[in-house]
Structure 1
Amino acid sequence: MSDFRQRLWALTAASRHAGGSTIERHHHEDHQLVYVSDGVLAVETSAGNWVASKDRAVWLPAGTWHAHRFYGSSMFHAIGFARERPPLPDTAPTIVAVTPFLRELLIAAADTSLPPAETTRIRAVLRDQLRRSAQQPLSLPTPRDPRLADACALASAEPAVSIPLGELARQVGASERSLSRLFREELGMSYPQWRTNLRLLEAMILLSGGTSVTHTARQCGWNTTSSFIDTFRRALGTTPGDYRARAADGRA
Structure 2
Amino acid sequence: MPVGRQPLESRLWPSGGAHLWRSGGTSSAHSHPRGHLVYAARGVLSVHTESGTSIVPANRVAWIPAGFTHHHRAHGDTDMRIEFLPASLARPLPGHPAVFTASGLVREVLLTLSGARNHDRGARNRYRAAHARLRRVLVDELQEAPEQALQLPEPRDDRLQAVARILYDNPADNTALAELGRSVGAGARTLSRLFHDELGMTFHEWRTQLRIHHALVLLAEGHDTTRVAHASGWANPSSFIAAFSTIMGTTPGRYRSGSPGNVRQRAGLHEPQPHP
TM normalised by structure 1 equals: 0.91
Gaps in structure 1 of 5+ consecutive residues: 1-7
Q: 1:38 offset after TM fit, Å?
A: 0.1
Contact 1:88/1:130 (8 A) holds in 2: no
1:168 and 2:180 matched: yes
2:207 aligned residue? 195
Q: What residue number does 2:162 align with?
A: 150
Spell out, residue by residue over 1:38-90, the C-alpha distance to the aligned partner (whole angstroms, 9 max, x if none): 01101111111111111011111111111100011111100111223316433
Partner of 2:274: none
CA distance in 2, matches of 1:143, 1:168: 15
Contact 1:208 1:248 in 2 (8 A): no
Q: Which residue of structure 2 aligns with residue 131 of structure 1?
A: 143
1:5-59 deviations in Å (ceiling 9; x for gaps): xxx9545111211111111111112111100100110111111111111101111
Q: Deviations over 1:143-190 (max 9, x none)?
A: 111111111111111111112111211121222221111111111111
Q: Which segment drifts farther, 224-233 or 76-85? A: 76-85
Checking the alignment, whether the CA contact within 8 Å between 1:54 and 1:246 is kept in structure 2 is no
Q: Residue 132 of structure 1: CA displacement?
A: 1.8
1:16-31 to structure 2, matched below 5 A, reads 16-31=20-35
Instruction: Deviation per CA, 1:183-218: give whole Å up to 9, x if none.
Output: 111111111111100001111111122211111111
Note if 1:83 corresponds to 2:95.
no
Q: Distance in 1 between matches of 2:204 and 2:230?
A: 17
Question: 108, 117, 123: which is aligned to 1:104?
Answer: 108
Q: Which moved more, 1:101-110 or 1:193-202?
A: 101-110
Tell me the equivalent position of 1:63: 67
| Aligned mates of 1:242, 1:54 — CA distance in 2 | 12
Amino acid at match of 1:99: S
Query: Unaligned 5+ residue runs, structure 2?
Result: 1-11, 264-270, 272-276
Q: Distance in 2 between matches of 1:121 and 1:27?
A: 26
Residue of structure 2 aligned with 1:121, choices 133, 141, 150 = 133
Q: Percent identity?
A: 36
Tell me if structure 2 keeps the 8 A contact 1:87–1:130: no
Any idea what SS the aligned residue of 2:38 has?
A: strand
